[in-house]
Structure 1
Amino acid sequence: MNLQDILAPRPKAARPMPSDAEDGTPSHTPADGTRTLGEILAELRQLSPEQIEKVGSHQRENGLRFGEAAIELGLVSHDDVLRALSLQFNYAYGSDESQRLSPELVALNQPFGHQAEAFRMIRSQLQLRLGGAEGPVRTRRRALAVVSPNSEDGKTYFCANLAVALSQLGQRTLVVDADLRGPRLHEVFGVPNDLGLSGLLSGRHGDSVIKPVPGVPDLFVCPAGTRPPNPLELLERPAFGLLMHELQQRFDHVIVDTPAAEYGADALVVSARCGQALVLARKHASQVATLQELSALLSAANTTLTGVVMNDR
């Protein structure tokens, strides 16, 4: 298997985040190239010079920020201001189209909501735990398998949003759909699923199966591909271990979605190849005894248990 032919090419380095963003009327662009919030809003809503002047007058008369004044005058919406802020700080924020296609991507579509904040908290915990005393995550790249005892525990939702949150740090992040029994990541991210992980592991090649997520810099997805009749056998082949090793060299983070443990040993095999696993439990559904059994099986498979997260969505 020639991995260089099937993996996504390395993109250009992401733009650095501005060090000092402004809010004000769109009168000039600072010397460092940072645009004011007013300039961005004027471009997003195609405000006329007369409307801009009207907002500026209302801003000065009432001691408001440009965005606040524009909202009060009904020229922009609160969502427009959030979108402009995301552009000003180079922070991925879902477009109207992506929100319609992928309502589950709360970290992208609602980056200032409480659910997105919860994913940022989990992201921070993972950064600390995976870095530890041995150094920062970027110098110790590892793959993380997300596992759970039962179906409908929310693994795909969790993997997708965690991957978005990690990519928002400006770190190259790949989310892999290793749920060859019931894949859904291609639906969440709106990418084709005709060629994916199953094809790679069975020896079929084609164009790169790793797709960049439109509108989200540094985020990539590897769909599961066609459902095979022998998912466990494919995952147990040496090719999967080799692939995971290569992916960890090319990406800062690799998040792997897995089938529920109730369907067989797939999740344990994937976790062993990744080396790290995070167990997802569902509020009012997962049983403590089942979670303890799953944790013991992961330990027996030489997998480091990174933590357990309770999903109440």
Structure 2
Amino acid sequence: MTDNSQTQSTFGSLPSSEDIRSIGDIIRDTRALSAAQVAEILQHQRLHGLKFGEAAIKLGYASPDDVLHALAEQFNYAVADGAQTAAHPELVVLNQPFSQQAEAFRATRAQILMRTQGEEGAPTTKRALAVLSPNSGDGKTFFAANLAVALAQLGGRTLVVDADLRGPRLHEVFGVDNHAGLSGLLSGRPGENVIKPVKGISNLFVLPVGIQPPNPLELIEGAAFGLLLHELLSKFDHVVVDTPAAEFGADGLVAAARCGVALMVARKNSVRVDDLKALVQALSASTAKVVGVVMNEY
């Protein structure tokens, strides 16, 4: 016999079947289907052994996107609508959640979590993940942004920090205001509302660069950056930090040492082996734990 009180204390208040809307209910409300149309779909569903969404598509009462968004709503899984796809074309995990690219990001997410969370029950120190690359154009910002989306889709509060003080681009990828951000915080200026929520993904946030400073490396090397990361890690489940390419200076290496965990991104058939080796060796000599190298084909 199941002890219901124990189940509630362990898992909290679980939703009842009445709280979970069916795919049919969501599609009906989204498309404003009449009772007659719903009845026609149900009849077609029974006759041909289809799911409600499949039957609705066959009859022309719904589109594949309608079914996808109904599934996303039912499972509380963020996917993009048409406006978001146009606004954030680089976010393939959000725009094309069942594509090979999106699956590759989910696989990378799983590998990172397995390598950083330790064994079950063992105490671990939460650390931020710095994303580095040898050269400009390797796809580092593209990777950091999509990895952050994939982490947010797990349900934990996720923050992606633009620490590329030399050529920031995350504010463009996510479409957030860039008037104030990390550079101001590291310079000691007040930082109200500098962390921006990402529309359409309830638990994803962006800390943009703000004004580009004349002394990027000095700001990253300063004690304020480490203190800020410590504070952010207390407020977010996952913190991903985008950094400048190594060809521009030591910013990425310093940021990785502050974060504690580093992942490298290089462009396949483009990166020079010597450049990649040099970055690996430099990271190995630091306090950062290298969790892997990703070869980007995008």
Per the alignment, residue 253 of structure 2 pairs with 268
Per the alignment, residue 110 of structure 1 pairs with 96
Per the alignment, residue 277 of structure 2 pairs with 292
Amino acid at match of 1:100: A
Taking the aligned partners of 1:199 and 1:283, their CA distance within structure 2 comes to 35
Q: Is the 8 A contact 1:99 1:109 kept in 2?
A: yes
Per the alignment, residue 295 of structure 2 pairs with 310
**Cα drift, residue 104 of structure 1:** 0.6
**Cα drift, residue 301 of structure 1:** 2.1
Amino acid at match of 1:143: A
Q: Is the 8 A contact 1:141 1:251 kept in 2?
A: no
Per the alignment, residue 99 of structure 1 pairs with 85
Per the alignment, residue 175 of structure 2 pairs with 190
Per the alignment, residue 85 of structure 1 pairs with 71
Structure 2 alignment gaps of length 5 or more: 1-11
Per the alignment, residue 41 of structure 1 pairs with 27
Per the alignment, residue 228 of structure 2 pairs with 243
Per the alignment, residue 117 of structure 2 pairs with 131
Cα RMSD, aligned residues only = 1.8
Q: Is the 8 A contact 1:17 1:90 kept in 2?
A: no
| SS of the residue 1:146 aligns to | strand
| SS of the residue 2:278 aligns to | helix
**Cα drift, residue 305 of structure 1:** 0.9
Distance 1:291 1:136, change over 3 A: farther
| Stretch of structure 1 that moved more, 30-39 or 242-251 | 30-39
Q: Is the 8 A contact 1:143 1:254 kept in 2?
A: yes
Taking the aligned partners of 1:288 and 1:136, their CA distance within structure 2 comes to 37
1:126-172, Cα deviation, whole Å (9 max, x unpaired) = 111002237579x6421000000000111111011101111111111
Taking the aligned partners of 1:52 and 1:133, their CA distance within structure 2 comes to 49
Give yes or no for the alignment of 1:75 onto 2:22.
Answer: no
Per the alignment, residue 149 of structure 2 pairs with 164
| SS of the residue 1:132 aligns to | coil
Q: Is the 8 A contact 1:170 1:217 kept in 2?
A: no
Give yes or no for the alignment of 1:226 onto 2:219.
Answer: no
Taking the aligned partners of 1:235 and 1:65, their CA distance within structure 2 comes to 54
Q: Which of 101, 115, 119 lines up with 2:105 in the alignment? A: 119
Per the alignment, residue 7 of structure 2 pairs with none
Taking the aligned partners of 1:263 and 1:234, their CA distance within structure 2 comes to 15
Taking the aligned partners of 1:214 and 1:279, their CA distance within structure 2 comes to 28
Q: Which of structure 1's runs of 4+ aligned residues deviate more than 2 A?
A: 16-19, 132-137
> Alignment identity in percent?
60
Per the alignment, residue 6 of structure 2 pairs with none
| SS of the residue 1:133 aligns to | coil
Amino acid at match of 1:121: A
Q: Which of 38, 43, 50 lines up with 1:57 in the alignment? A: 43
| SS of the residue 2:78 aligns to | coil
Q: Is the 8 A contact 1:298 1:305 kept in 2?
A: yes
1:45-88, Cα deviation, whole Å (9 max, x unpaired) = 12122211111121122121110010001111111111111111
| SS of the residue 2:117 aligns to | helix
| SS of the residue 1:107 aligns to | helix
TM-score (norm 1): 0.88
| SS of the residue 2:241 aligns to | strand
Per the alignment, residue 3 of structure 2 pairs with none
Per the alignment, residue 4 of structure 2 pairs with none
Taking the aligned partners of 2:206 and 2:85, their CA distance within structure 1 comes to 18
Taking the aligned partners of 1:18 and 1:312, their CA distance within structure 2 comes to 42
Amino acid at match of 2:231: E
Structure 1 alignment gaps of length 5 or more: 1-15, 20-29
Distance 1:17 1:187, change over 3 A: farther
1:189-237, Cα deviation, whole Å (9 max, x unpaired) = 1110001001111111142211111111221110111111111111111
Distance 1:117 1:145, change over 3 A: same
Amino acid at match of 2:88: S
Distance 1:306 1:65, change over 3 A: same
Taking the aligned partners of 2:163 and 2:270, their CA distance within structure 1 comes to 23
